[in-house]
């Protein structure tokens, strides 16, 4: 990393809100995600968002998407089909990262559910 890159990207992190700096220092959040979450000005909202992002291991793109949805909730009405798609995508992302696959009982249940999903999509 060059000193110019450090000065432009890392040094401004010191100006982030304290709650975000704390998560950054603990190593529970990458600096790119910290910069994105810092866009939320209201402290209580930001802290709740930060905790959820860390707990659910959101990607940077997920964080940016959710922040943009928070900024413009009135301008883009969310219909039910989008909500289901988002829930499915979030569930799939969690499943990919989850250690659930090593539990034989849970894996069998997941395989059964996956088969049901595949059957639903084939019937259309």
Res 77 pLDDT > 70: no
- For the residues 4-15, what does the mean pLDDT come to? 84
pLDDT of 124:
58
Assign 37 a pLDDT band (cuts: 50, 70, 90).
Answer: very high
Domain boundary assignment for the chain: 3-71, 80-123
Asked whether the predicted pLDDT for residue 70 surpasses 60, the reply is yes
Confidence (pLDDT) at 98: 84
> 3-71 has which fold?
Arc Repressor Mutant, subunit A (1.10.10)
What is the pTM (predicted TM-score) of this model? 0.54
> Are 41 and 27 within 8 A, CB to CB?
no
Residue 34 or residue 6, greater confidence: 34
Distance CA 39, CA 9 (A): 16
Helix pair 43-55, 60-71: axis angle to 10 deg: 150
Is the pLDDT assigned to residue 27 strictly greater than 70?
A: yes
pLDDT over threshold 80, residue 78: no
Q: Is residue 33 a contact partner of residue 50, using CB atoms and an 8 Å limit? A: no
pLDDT reported for residue 53: 94
């Amino acid at each position: 990393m060059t000193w110019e890159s450090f000065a432009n990207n890392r040094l401004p992190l010191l100006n982030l809100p304290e709650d975000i700096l704390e998560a950054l220092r603990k190593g529970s959040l990458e600096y790119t995600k910290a910069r994105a979450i810092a866009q939320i000005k209201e402290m209580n909202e930001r802290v709740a968002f930060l905790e959820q992002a860390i707990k659910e291991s959101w990607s940077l793109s997920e964080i940016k998407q959710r922040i943009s949805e928070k900024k413009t909730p009135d301008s883009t009405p969310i219909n039910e089909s989008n909500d289901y798609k988002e829930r499915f995508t979030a569930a799939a992302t969690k499943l990919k990262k989850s250690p659930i696959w090593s539990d034989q009982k849970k894996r069998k249940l997941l395989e059964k559910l996956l088969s049901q999903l595949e059957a639903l999509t084939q019937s259309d």
